[in-house]
Amino acid sequence: MYNLTKDPLETVNLAHPYFSTNETRKVQRQLDVILKEQIRKKRIFPQSGSMNDELPSKDR
């Protein structure tokens, strides 16, 4: 996650905890919600491992 206006060469990854801000954490939470919605809609699940730790119990 980069601020292309301030960092066009993408040298500072704002998703990294060291560089995160309240705004970038909010965006990450929003993206996480969207990703989980898409996984449920498309019924895409990993072929190995488990996502049970990542999904709320109502979604398992």
Confidence of residue 42 (pLDDT cuts 50, 70, 90): confident
CA 18, 20, 28, 6 torsion: positive or negative? Answer: negative
The residue ranking higher by pLDDT, 40 or 28, is 28
Note whether 40 and 49 are within 8 A (CB). no
Average pLDDT score, the chain: 82
39-53 burial by CB neighbour count: b if 16+ within 10 A, else e? beeeeeeeeeeeeee
CA 52, 54, 56, 60 torsion: positive or negative? Answer: negative
pTM: 0.56
How high is the pLDDT of residue 40? 83
Q: Residue ranges of the domains in the chain?
A: 1-43
pLDDT tens sequence across 22-32: 999 999 999 99
Helix (H/G/I), strand (E/B), else coil: 13? coil
